Chain A
Amino acid sequence: MARGIADQVAIIGMGCSRFGERWDCGPDDLIVEAFLEAEQDAGIDRDEIEAAWLGVFYQEQSTGKSGLPLSMALRLPNTAVTRVENLCATGTEALRGAVYAVAAGACDIALACGVEKLKDTGYAGLPERTKGTFEDLWQVSNTPPGSFAQLASAYAARHKRPMEEIKRAMAHISVKSHANGSKNPKAHLRREITEEQVLNAPMVAYPLGLYDCCGVSDGAACAIVTSVEKARAMGLKDMVVVKAMQLAPSNGYEMCSSDWDGSYTPTTRIAAERAYREAGIRNPREELDLLEVHDCFSVTELVLMEDLLLSEEGRAVEDVLDGVYDADGDLPCQIDGGLKCFGHPVGASGLRMTYEIYQQLLGRAGPRQLHNPTLGLTHNLGGLPMRNVASVSVFGLKAA
């Protein structure tokens, strides 16, 4: 009988580069910036790392293929480095690789690193890419905003809500995240915005305006993990442990079947149920203290509150407008500013989310610090609502 991974692996060091238009940096510089912080935090030497996972999405357009970019940036002593890619869940996949290796007992110390250098691609928004030789023959040349925007029209139709109401909740989400991001020195976008600005912004893809979309940034983040026993042996008392890491990729159902109504992400619901079970969470709304979710667009965050089984079906609009997910609400979401303010350097995002949970659980989040959080969740939605890879991870504080 498999024992799962809950409470076996501790995160002993994390680092996160400043996110933004890092014209001063290449991917190797970003990796080093994040890694040095993690290495110092963990108090280890990089030669102690026995295996590493590197998450990069746009390999041809930014960092390059394989594990080499990490191995070379850190001049690792020929340590095993595996490059992983799983759409926007790529960073989380790097962490899952490292966590699994430690949980399996294959190594004591493992490194997860995610990086993306989007701004050298020349695109505003995510770069264009081929969908494969067959899909290029028939798939629409859609964009992420245009694909996620459809959640709004389908959600409005399903719950019979006027688009204006949904737009207002979406605006609240963006205003909240900007307010949070303004307190975070590592965020890309650090200006507060108003609901009026959001609602009057130029249209990108109906009904998403400019401020409904996350930024486009460069960034990297790292995590160093070891077993709970080893962490204790290293002298750690309070430590952040992995409670659950679950992944649910689409099998084509959403895009090929008329059964799905387009208003939610079934994979998130599946990954969330599995993660809550793995972490032993019965009532996520009550038990979780903070969330870092995949707010690539404001409407995504809105429907995710239901998909993560936090808001009741059709009630996310009220919960958002009531401030449940605000910094001073019951369950703060994107307390670091989220993708909205960090942008979405794809390979790094999952680890950037984990970094915030880690800092918050250890009480190190400075002006953003929440009151004694002990359980946090990260979520990625890679791809599009109609076909994606969803990941849900839970991290907890294990007190001495």
Chain B
Amino acid sequence: MSTSGDIGILAIGGYTPAWRIRRETIAAAMDWAVPALKGMAKGDRSVANWDEDAVTMAVEAGRRCLEGRERSTVTGVSLAGTTLPFADRSNSGILADALNLDEHIRTEDTGGSRRAATSALQRLLRQPENEGSTLLTASDCRETQPGSVQEMQYGHGAAAVLIGAGNVLARCLGSASIHRDLVDQYRAHEVDYDYALEQRWVQEEGYLKVVPAAVETALENAEIGVEAVHHLIIPAPAAVATKLAAKMNMPDVVIADSLAGQVGDAGAAQPLLMLAMTLANAEPGQTILLVGFGQGADACVLQTTEAVSDCNHDVVTPGRRLDNYVRFLALRRQLNPDFGIRAERDNRTALSTYYRKRRDITGFVGGRCGKCNTLQFPRSNTCIHCREMQTQESESLAELSGTVKSFTEDWLAYTPSPPLVYGNVTFPDGANVLMEFTDTVPGEVEVGAEVRMMFRIKDFDDHRNFRRYFWKSVLTGEAKHG
């Protein structure tokens, strides 16, 4: 560990779902009602699969951020977002279990604003954990009303940063916040969609007045001038960002890609997703101005270090296209197709059972036999290989690669995205799990293919407004379709 002077961003990772829909596809389906959509019909937006939500996306972003790092050094997890699935059940607790983090760490959920992540980032950079590091994840999976501007503009995504002392990618030079109840958009509890006000008002009175006020103070705190800023990250349409740069006298600043072409606006995750992209392309010694916006603004001045040269991950991985607008609606539960009697199954969870098995399920923790070394899932009292009893030590399969042993594409089984593709997957040291494949289409899975594990929604219990999570297989090879 380095000295406390080196507190900053140790690592960063972004995740955007595999599925994309062309905005043209949306406009073609809905412009009979809203002709103005045609004018926005450029590029793709990301679409979370039916089995993804803010928690599962945060898990994936967290895994990417922590790749190659010792997870035992993580002593805190923050999860920021406006669409966390549970209002009372620690979403960050699920995240921590899925990442197999120690039970004695601090977990916290933050929300209530699209600034949830930037506010948390500022706070954590000022007041880091005493020892260890904090994983700050931001994730949003905002549903949108068919035919709305938001449906065109939003995308689903998540990002994660690891904050602590050590060989940091960037450190914080100063920051500031301003709160101003300019209600550019809002979403009340128990409501599915955002209610948005006129964009011109939001631009003129919001972005162009509120952001500069925060930025000015942040630069003062950082003791630098506007000319020192190399990168400007502002979660706003590109035209608004350009106007802001001009207004703030930053003519030469590099305005960060808003990701509009492939992702869209990922809500609370957007500033960190853009930061992940910026850090992957930044030079050492550059200054980044990171802005969060929503009923006020956060401004954070970051300076990159030599270590940023090694930060070259993919933030936006290649997607696959969803050509069917109706299917897009169904995947996001905006449309409820008749899937027949099998969809009526009661998915009540025995939560006392879940409690006993929570690490097995959420962390994909199996057992390794201390006598014959065979890995197996689920962990059990008796080894599947040598039949010795009570010899198994916990070991997660989540980060292992698997190989497809057998599979089917099942059109009879219920899934919100037929067919249900599943099969036997083998793992090193003897394990085999019959599991679901996700983010795939018929004709793609084959025996012998390599898969990696992803944390996903297993099923919904609509009677009790509950959802269960488990791990699924995703093909690691190049997608054949899409």
List the interface of chain A (C-beta within 8 A of B). Answer: 122-123, 125, 128, 130, 133-134, 136-143, 145-147, 149-151, 153-154, 156-157, 203-206, 208, 251-263, 386
A–B Cβ pairs within 8 angstroms, 7 of them: A122-B341, A134-B357, A137-B458, A138-B361, A138-B470, A206-B419, A206-B442
B384 touches A256 (CB 8 A): yes
Is the Cβ of B434 less than 8 Å from the Cβ of A142? Answer: yes
* B: contact size bracket: 35 or more
Please state if B408 and A146 are interface contacts (CB–CB under 8 Å): yes
Chain B residues with CB under 8 A of A253: 384
* Docked-complex contact A146 and B384, CB < 8 angstroms: no
Separation of A151 and B458 alpha carbons in the complex (Å): 24
CB-nearest residue of chain A relative to B352?
Answer: A133
Q: Contacts A137-B349, A138-B458, A146-B408 known; A153 to B430 CB distance under 8 Å?
A: no
Smallest Cβ-Cβ distance to B407: which chain A residue = A153
**Bound Cα distance A128, B345 (Å):** 7
B432 touches A136 (CB 8 A): no
B463 at the interface (CB under 8 A from A): no
A142 and B410 contact, Cβ closer than 8 Å, known pairs A133-B350, A157-B448, A262-B424: yes
Find chain A residues with CB under 8 A from B195 CB.
none
Which chain A positions have C-beta within 8 A of B349?
136-137
Are A154 and B422 in touch, CB under 8 angstroms?
Answer: no
A28 CA to B470 CA in the complex, in Å?
Answer: 42
- What residues of chain A lie closer than 8 Å to B183, measured between beta carbons? none
Chain A residues near B409 (CB-CB < 8 A): 203, 205-206
B423 touching A153, Cβ below 8 Å: yes
Closest to A125 in B: B412
Q: B442: nearest residue on chain A (CB-CB)?
A: A206
- Would you call B321 an interface residue if the criterion is a C-beta within 8 Å of the partner chain's C-beta atoms? no
| Chain B 388-425: CB-based contact to A (< 8 A → 1; otherwise 0) | 00000000000000000111111111110001101110
- State in angstroms the CA–CA spacing of A151 and B405 once bound together: 10
Set of chain B residues within 8 Å of A260, measured between Cβ atoms: 432
Partner of B434, one of A128, A130, A140, A149: A140
Question: B residues touching A (Cβ–Cβ < 8 Å)?
Answer: 341-342, 344-347, 349-350, 353-354, 357, 360-361, 374, 376-378, 380, 384-385, 405-415, 419-420, 422-424, 426-427, 430-436, 442, 446-448, 458-459, 468, 470
- CB contacts (< 8 Å) of B426 on chain A: these are 258
Extra 8 A-B pairs, beta carbons < 8 Å, given A206-B442, A258-B430: A123-B341, A128-B345, A138-B458, A150-B424, A154-B405, A205-B409, A258-B426, A263-B406
Contact, CB under 8 Å: A154 / B447: yes
Q: Nearest CB to that of A157 among chain B residues? A: B447
Determine the chain B residues whose CB is within 8 A of the CB of A205 once the complex forms: 408-413, 419
Question: In the complex, what distance in Å separates the CA atom of A204 from the CA atom of B410?
Answer: 6
CA distance A256 to B369 in the complex (A): 13
User: Given A140-B435, A154-B447, do A145 and B412 touch, yes or no (CB 8 Å)?
Assistant: yes
Which of B349, B409, B415, B430 has the largest number of chain A CB atoms within 10 A?
B409
Residues A204 and B411 in contact in the complex (CB < 8 Å), given A123-B341, A137-B353, A262-B424: yes
Q: How far is the CA of A203 from the CA of B345 in the complex (A)?
A: 23
Residues of the B chain whose Cβ atoms lie less than 8 Å from the Cβ of A128: 341-342, 344-345, 414
Q: Which of B345, B408, B468 makes the CB contact (< 8 A) with A137?
A: B468
Our pick among B413, B427, B442, B468 for the contact of A146 (Cβ within 8 Å) is B413
Report the minimum CB–CB distance from B398 to chain A (whole Å).
13
